[in-house]
Amino acid sequence: MTLEVVILAAGQGSRMRSSLPKVLHPVAGKSMLSHVIDLATAVASDKTHVVIGHGADQVKQCITDPAIHWALQSEQKGTGHAVAQALPAVSDDAQVLILYGDVPLTTAETIAKLIAKSPQKSATEQVSLLTVELADPTGYGRIVRNSANEVTAIVEQKDASEDQLKISEVNTGIMCVSASALKRWLPKLSANNAQGEYYLTDIIAMAVSDGVAINVCQAREPMEVQGANNRIQLEELERYYQRRYANQLMLAGASLADASRIDVRGQLNTGNDVYIDVNCVFEGEVTLGDGVRIGPNCHISNSTIACNVEIKANSVLEGAVVGEACSIGPFARLRPGTVLAAEVKIGNFVETKKANIGIASKVSHLSYIGDAEIGCDVNVGAGTITCNYDGVNKFKTTLADGVFVGSNTALVAPVTVGKAATIGAGSVITGNIAEGELAVARGKQRNISGWQRPKKLARD
């Protein structure tokens, strides 16, 4: 038995009030639709179909996975009609899992349970519904059961009777149905209902009359099956996602100063005894080794931080590799291509870019280090700048082991400074310096004695 997933993503989402199609709105930095496509992959979908309509071109442009089968629903005539658009490309013997492009946080565990309700090898047709109990079921399709507690129908809010409206078990929309049955039922749907739509949910009554078994699996957590129709719901999904992620981090050995003040938009791998202070944002793939401490208000993306590094408040790291026991910040900015060996110190108001910095070297204050190769035990004084750019080309600065750069030095690249060389403060270095040399490149100081400052005229 193969599993094919059909994701409905044709709706407009007008309540978002956005030029972006609803399913492209992000949760945790990733479009809702991408979350759902990843879910399909996680439950081993053999073939994934996405039904698009509103903003179809924009959606296709954003989702570049070549394995996706696109189906166009040019007019939105209901969920049953939407599934029907994908059906011709679905093989007859498949189980079809129906997901929604605006319901991003369902877990693979829940879906696996739902799929397990339909015996995989049996040739008999099945319908498995994912339902959920809601304190306030308003707006949802209600699960109608008979006296034997068997599901007999799903009734939409707008078509429900007084008594049916009291049912708190609702349809999440997510279901798993044999393709052969769908192919028989969908052409029989009618739009003769309060919304004039072809309801996918009407197949339940058809299943009952065909004697097809209906299995039910209940989602434990309503947020798992919650969709986003407006930006308030989108934010609720975001907060739920972030809290769930924060809990995972804590269980994996990271201490968080405040689990409600961390945002992970991507993947954050943490070692044991990691400490993360408030208001940190992580993007892309970030790895923090054992014992790493992150101060408040840090923004870290696509970086690898080795054990026992301390990143102090308000630092920004992007595409950086940081070696063991380094100390970064406060207010440091490490840009792509920064590679720090162990025990490097990058202090406040220091920006690095494409910089390889060797063991135990220090750039402690107010510097720009770009396109640089720096050895071990180098001390870069406050205010040192690599002048790496002539307006057209970038050039490299090389400082060998043990170099001492005096404060406020301008290193005009390309330039190479030999081992243990010293540069006097305030120098503009335009030529190479050999091993052990002292270079001083600044105006000589003149002292003029008896100098009279100009005086202001006395006011009368």
Q: Is 154 in the site for ligand UD1 (CB under 6 A)?
A: yes
Q: How far is residue 325's CA from residue 317's CA, in Å, rounded to a whole number?
A: 16
Site for ligand UD1 in 4-63 (CB under 6 A): 8-11, 51
By CB under 6 A, tell whether 82 contacts ligand UD1.
Answer: yes
What's the min distance (Å) between Cβ of 283 and ligand UD1?
27
Q: Least Å distance between CB 13 and ligand UD1?
A: 7
Using the contact rule CB under 6 A, the part of the chain among 78-86, 246-254, 277-285, 339-347 near ligand UD1 is: 78-86
Q: For ligand UD1, how many residues bind (rule: CB under 6 A)?
A: 27
Q: Site mask, ligand UD1, residues 338-357, x = CB under 6 A?
A: --------------------
CB of residue 98 to ligand UD1, shortest distance in Å: 9
365 annotated active-site: yes
Judged by CB, which is closer to ligand UD1: 10, or 317?
A: 10
Convert residues 186-225 into a mask of x (bound to ligand UD1 by CB under 6 A) and - (unbound).
Answer: -------------xxx------------------------
Q: Decide whether 31 or 172 has the Cβ nearer to ligand UD1.
A: 172
- Using CB under 6 A as the binding rule, whether residue 268 contacts ligand UD1 is answered as no
Q: What is the token pair recorded at 256?
A: 């968080």
Q: Which stretch binds ligand UD1 (CB under 6 A): 75-83, 243-251, 288-296, 374-382?
A: 75-83
Q: Which residue of the set 25, 35, 81, 365 is catalytic?
A: 365
Kindly state the smallest distance separating residue 216's Cβ from ligand UD1, in Å.
Answer: 14
Using CB under 6 A as the binding rule, whether residue 407 contacts ligand UD1 is answered as no
Min CB(326)–ligand UD1 separation in Å = 46
The least distance separating ligand UD1 from the CB of residue 243, rounded to whole angstroms, comes to 22
Candidates 61-69, 71-79, 211-219, 402-410: pick the segment binding ligand UD1 (CB under 6 A). Answer: 71-79
377: left (phi > 0), else alpha (psi -120 to 50), else beta?
A: left
Q: Which of 141, 271, 323, 358 binds ligand UD1 (CB under 6 A)?
A: 141
Phi and psi at 35, nearest 5°, equal: -60, -45
State the minimum distance, in angstroms, from the CB of residue 28 to ligand UD1: 19
Among 101, 271, 370, 402, binds ligand UD1 (CB under 6 A): 101
- What are the residues binding ligand UD1 (CB under 6 A)? 8-11, 51, 73, 76-79, 81-82, 100-102, 140-141, 154, 156, 170-173, 199-201, 227
Active site residues: 365
